[in-house]
A and B are shown apart, each in its own frame.
Chain A
Amino acid sequence: EVQLVESGGALVQPGGSLRLSCAASGFTFSSHWMTWVRQAPGKGLEWVAHIKQDGSEKYYVDSVKGRFTISRDNAKTSLYLQMNSLRAEDTAVYYCGTVGSSWSQLLYWGQGTLVTVSS
């Protein structure tokens, strides 16, 4: 059974940092691009970042470039999102996801972890 389990969400002050983790199991983690998608309270989905199978390519939405870093550890089958210089508008549930055989296949999703940026 495929499982993606996010952790690390918390209440953090503006300007602070947080590292999210996503533990994957039940599929060949190293064969897939991975992604982070977020959802602000009561709002829609927003793609945040992608990372290639070997970590050699990373892509970000403009609003997080220079502040967030996506990474992965294939040996630990884990995905990470380092978030620095956090802003109130980063408050959201963060989902990790698996890209399937096509760029339009966000095939598997975790249950999400809540990040709240507030003083």
Chain B
Amino acid sequence: QSALTQPRSVSGSPGQSVTISCTGTSSDVGAYNYVSWYQQHPGKAPKLMIYDATKRPSGVPGRFSGSKSGNTASLTISGLQAEDEADYYCCSFSGSYTLMFGGGTKLTVL
């Protein structure tokens, strides 16, 4: 059970857009639309930002969007704001009722 692959870090200036990728295999990301993204600020619990690859829970700003193509899912944050600076984790259902997380990406707002 290897973790999904995410870039260690990304950065952008306020107002810009950034995209974080999450690469898995045909047994997890590629097999199911059960991909989610979590935002985690230091010392805090993770927060669900995207589920079912593209859906936004109520209360999550429309600046956050998700997509998936083949074995790779992506999280795009448009109109970056200072409070978006956090760690982001992707997660995929990987069969047999198991979940797999990515290694996490640190987003820095310059």
Contact = CB atoms under 8 A, between A and B. Distances in A.
Interface of A: 35, 37, 44-47, 50, 57, 59, 61-62, 95, 100, 102-107, 109-112
Given A45-B89, A100-B51, A106 B97 contact: no
Contact of A59 (B45, B97, B104): B97
Interface residues of B, number: 30
Contact of B101 (A46, A50, A57, A107): A46
A95 B46 contact: yes
Contacts of A103: 32, 34, 93, 97, 99
Given A44-B3, A50-B97, A104 B34 contact: yes
Given A57-B97, A102-B52, A104-B35, A110 B89 contact: no
B98 interface: yes
B101 A47 contact: yes
Q: Enumerate the 9 nearest inter-chain pairs by beta-carbon distance, A residue then B residue, closest first.
A: A47-B99, A104-B34, A104-B36, A109-B45, A44-B104, A59-B97, A103-B34, A103-B93, A104-B51
15 contacts: A37-B46, A37-B101, A44-B103, A45-B101, A47-B91, A47-B99, A59-B96, A61-B1, A100-B51, A102-B51, A103-B99, A104-B33, A106-B38, A106-B48, A111-B45
A45 B52 contact: no
B100 interface: yes
Contacts of A47: 91, 98-101
